[in-house]
């Protein structure tokens, strides 16, 4: 991948391994390779969807980019800096530029703080409001921006529904005027009827505020709707990355093909083949040799166990990590 | 505070505590006798006898008077010890749980070492080194109880820091002290309040044990509830049930009062219970 001018964030060979401690001396006996050599870039103003099943490492990618989890290796190039190597204290200015929206709207808001304090806290931390009055005004503005009422300021999180809480979380992330937001499964915990509202809100905000989003989800339909490009993860590795429409119409990787075949089509007359993946996702402690997907791939050949497939461009802007070109 | 007073349990707890505090402060005016005055002719008078509402002990000392004066020492020793323990244990637990790593290992092993030493042996050592006095008694009781608080807080922090709101605070660039004090401490307090109320009761009894062994550094002529319990034990099987019962009831009432108040406090602090 060449470094385009419009690149906001570039992740190179990112690794996040969690040590497994064992024995009485707490020695490291192995690693959970949650993210293993992942590279991609996020372009200014785009929504990059990141999909994969539970345990694929997609959430870890998002949190590692924000250094909420320490990377084991690789580079996170943002602006002029490599966030992976920046000392903790030097991260603060970047915390104003990049934010995160969490999956669980019930765990992500401090139950003992009022909504006004929750949304106002980033303003205090980054000294973005000169007077308490100015802060209250800004909080009111943010609440209106996400479709809530300024009257909600004095209430506590438990008084709100899941969708409303997620809006509060979004308002908090927007308080610092970030340019980049990691949306970590922002609608997975919500009722289906509310999901569309929150996705639309994110899309509107993205247009109005010129945001760039890394949209993490396991729901392919939601990702297709909001994303410009989509990256597919499996067992800590990227399998395929392509413009959204291209990926959905023309998947090149067997894993993507299987994922897409599981998306329900709201038309009972359409018949199609369901590809059922046998077995469970293998353990990230001891992933399969070569291609990590080969144990569940219906196209696997002996060579798949030998080489780790590189993510390579197979069509303009369309990357896949699979050694076979004779399929799909 | 207004909500606290509207809560019947909190109000009951507060009244009990206020009554004991008043008793302690006004003991010289309320007590019918000198708490140390012996009247061997009236020894082991049962409660209800004229002049001795709650009876007398083995040496004929008036139990009501001793109870009132004893409240001073017992309440002073227990509350200051709990405060000292909290002052040490709370910050250590917060930091230990949040930062983890070497510091956490070190602090928790130190705690293990301390808990593995028999309390009495520890006290004998300290008293031998520093000399017995009321201040040293309070210090020993307070300082040694840090482990309990530190462990409870550490446990809460370990689970709280993994919650997404703590992570959100980090993502916003909040400093470690800010995360600890604004985000983790408020949610870690309720279990701590419960433990502190239990500790208070334990320390009243521990002081009694020290008095009994002559290690408390409190001159024997100053009455304490613990000392009275110990005295009462000796006559318990010879019909003198009241000598130990009344200080026991007093301790229970104080603990009850603190528990009621503490629970209500924990509830009021939680906006979800509103």
Q: How many CB atoms lie within 10 A of CB B114?
A: 15
pTM here is 0.84
- With CA atoms as reference, the chain B residue closest to A156 would be B271
The predicted-structure confidence for A213-239, as pLDDT tens digits, reads as follows 999 998 888 899 999 999 999 999 999
The predicted-structure confidence for A154-185, as pLDDT tens digits, reads as follows 999 999 999 999 999 999 999 999 999 999 99
Closest residue to B271, CB basis, from A96, A111, A125: A111
Q: Are strands A212-217 and A180-184 parallel, antiparallel or unpaired?
A: parallel
The predicted-structure confidence for B164-203, as pLDDT tens digits, reads as follows 999 999 999 999 999 999 999 999 998 898 888 888 878 8
The rounded percent of chain A whose pLDDT value lies above 70 is 98
Closest residue to A112, CB basis, from B168, B173, B271: B271
Strand partners, A213: A47, A181
CA distance B89 to B85: 6
Shortest Cα distance, chain B CAs vs residue A6, angstroms: 25
Q: How far is CA A30 from CA A13, A23, A68, in A?
A: 20, 12, 22
The predicted structure's pLDDT at residue B7: 84
Per-residue confidence band for B104, with pLDDT thresholds at 50, 70 and 90: very high
Closest residue to A102, CB basis, from B164, B173, B174: B164
Residue A4 has pLDDT above 50, yes or no: no
The predicted structure's pLDDT at residue A57: 92
A186 touches chain B (CB under 8 A): no
CA distance B184 to B225: 37
Residue A1 has pLDDT above 50, yes or no: no
The predicted structure's pLDDT at residue A21: 84
CA distance A146 to A136: 16
CA distance B4 to B11: 7
Closest residue to B173, CB basis, from A92, A104, A114: A92
| Apex B266 CA angle, B264 and B270, nearest 5 | 110
Mean pLDDT of chain B: 88
The predicted-structure confidence for B117-169, as pLDDT tens digits, reads as follows 888 888 888 888 888 888 888 998 999 999 999 999 999 999 999 899 999 99
The predicted structure's pLDDT at residue A71: 95
CA distance A160 to A168: 9
Burial of A173 per CB tally in 10 Å (0-12, 13-18, 19+): buried
Mean pLDDT of B85-112: 94
Q: Is B271's CB within 8 Å of A108's CB?
A: no
Q: Is A108's CB within 8 Å of B174's CB?
A: no
CA distance B176 to B97: 12
The predicted-structure confidence for A125-138, as pLDDT tens digits, reads as follows 999 998 999 999 99
CA distance A133 to B84: 39
User: If we measure between CA atoms, which residue out of A41, A47, A26, A28 comes closest to residue A76?
Assistant: A41
Q: Is A109's CB within 8 Å of B270's CB?
A: no
Q: How far is CA A134 from CA A62, A74, A137, A175, in A?
A: 32, 41, 5, 13
Order across the sheet with A81-82: list the strands.
Answer: A27-43, A7-22, A73-78, A81-82
The predicted-structure confidence for A84-122, as pLDDT tens digits, reads as follows 999 988 999 999 999 999 999 989 999 999 999 999 999
A116 touches chain B (CB under 8 A): no
Mean pLDDT of B238-264: 87
Residue A139 has pLDDT above 90, yes or no: yes
List the 16-55 stretch of B: residues with Cβ below 8 A of A: none
A110 touches chain B (CB under 8 A): yes
Mean pLDDT of A254-280: 81
CATH 1.10.3720.10 assigned to domain B2-273? The reply is yes
Domain ranges of chain B: 2-273
Distance of CA A62 to the CA centre of its chain: 5
Comparing A312 with B48, the larger pLDDT belongs to A312
The predicted structure's pLDDT at residue B274: 62
Shortest Cα distance, chain B CAs vs residue A207, angstroms: 23
Q: Are strands A229-234 and A47-51 parallel, antiparallel or unpaired?
A: parallel
Tokens linked to A324? 């076979």
ipTM: 0.86
Mean pLDDT of A282-310: 91
The predicted structure's pLDDT at residue A5: 55
């Amino acid at each position: 991948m060449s470094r385009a001018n419009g690149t906001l964030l570039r992740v190179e060979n990112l690794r996040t391994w969690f040590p497994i401690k064992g024995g009485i001396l707490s020695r490291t006996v192995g690693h959970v390779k949650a993210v293993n050599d992942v590279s991609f870039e996020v372009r200014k103003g785009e929504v990059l969807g990141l999909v994969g099943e539970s345990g694929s490492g997609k959430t870890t990618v998002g949190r590692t980019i924000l250094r909420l989890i320490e990377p084991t290796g690789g580079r996170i190039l943002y602006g002029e800096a490599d966030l992976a190597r920046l000392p903790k204290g030097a991260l603060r200015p970047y915390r104003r530029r990049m934010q995160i929206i969490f999956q669980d709207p019930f765990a992500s808001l401090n139950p003992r703080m009022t909504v006004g304090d929750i949304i106002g806290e980033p303003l205090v931390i980054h000294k973005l409001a000169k007077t308490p009055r100015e802060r209250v005004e800004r909080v009111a503005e943010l609440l209106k921006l996400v479709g809530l009422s300024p009257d909600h300021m004095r209430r506590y999180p438990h008084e709100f529904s899941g969708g409303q809480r997620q809006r509060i979380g979004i308002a908090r992330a927007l308080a610092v005027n970030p340019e980049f937001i990691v949306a970590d499964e922002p609608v997975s915990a919500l009722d289906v009827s509310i999901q569309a509202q929150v996705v639309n809100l994110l899309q509107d905000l993205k247009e109005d505020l010129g945001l760039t989003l890394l949209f993490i989800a396991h729901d392919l339909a939601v990702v297709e709707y909001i994303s410009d490009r989509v990256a597919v993860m499996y067992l800590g590795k990227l399998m395929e990355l392509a413009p959204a429409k291209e990926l959905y119409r023309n998947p090149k990787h067997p894993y993507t093909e299987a994922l897409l075949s599981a998306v329900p089509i709201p038309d009972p007359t359409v018949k199609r083949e369901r590809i059922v993946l046998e077995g469970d996702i293998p353990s990230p402690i001891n992933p399969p040799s070569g291609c990590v997907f080969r144990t569940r791939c219906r196209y696997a050949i002996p060579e798949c166990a030998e080489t780790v497939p590189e993510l390579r461009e197979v069509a303009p802007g369309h990357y896949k990590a699979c050694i076979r070109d004779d399929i799909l | 505070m207004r909500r606290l007073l509207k809560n019947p349990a909190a109000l009951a707890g507060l009244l009990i505590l206020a009554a004991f505090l008043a008793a302690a402060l006004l003991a010289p005016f309320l007590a019918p006798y000198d708490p140390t005055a012996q009247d061997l002719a009236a020894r082991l008078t049962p409660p209800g006898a004229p002049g001795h509402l709650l009876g007398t002990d083995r040496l004929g000392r008036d139990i009501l008077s001793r109870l009132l004066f004893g409240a001073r020492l017992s309440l002073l020793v227990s509350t200051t010890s709990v405060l000292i323990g909290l002052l040490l244990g709370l910050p250590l637990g917060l930091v230990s749980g949040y930062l983890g790593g070497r510091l956490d290992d070190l602090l928790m092993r130190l705690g293990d070492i301390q808990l593995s030493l028999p309390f009495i042996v520890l006290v004998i050592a300290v008293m031998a080194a520093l000399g017995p006095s009321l201040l040293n008694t309070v210090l020993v009781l307070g300082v040694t109880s840090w482990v309990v608080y530190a462990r409870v807080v550490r446990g809460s922090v370990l689970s709280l820091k993994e919650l997404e709101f703590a992570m959100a605070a980090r993502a916003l660039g909040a400093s470690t002290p800010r995360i600890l004090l604004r985000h983790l401490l408020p949610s870690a307090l309720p279990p701590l309040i419960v433990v502190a109320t239990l500790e208070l009761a334990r320390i009243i009894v521990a002081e009694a044990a020290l008095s009994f062994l002559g290690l408390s550094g409190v001159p024997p002529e100053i009455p304490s509830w613990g000392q009275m319990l110990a005295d009462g034990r000796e006559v318990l099987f010879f019909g003198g049930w009241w000598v130990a019962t009344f200080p026991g009831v007093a301790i229970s009432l104080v603990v009850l009062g603190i528990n009621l108040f503490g629970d209500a406090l924990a509830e009021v602090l939680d906006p979800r219970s509103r």
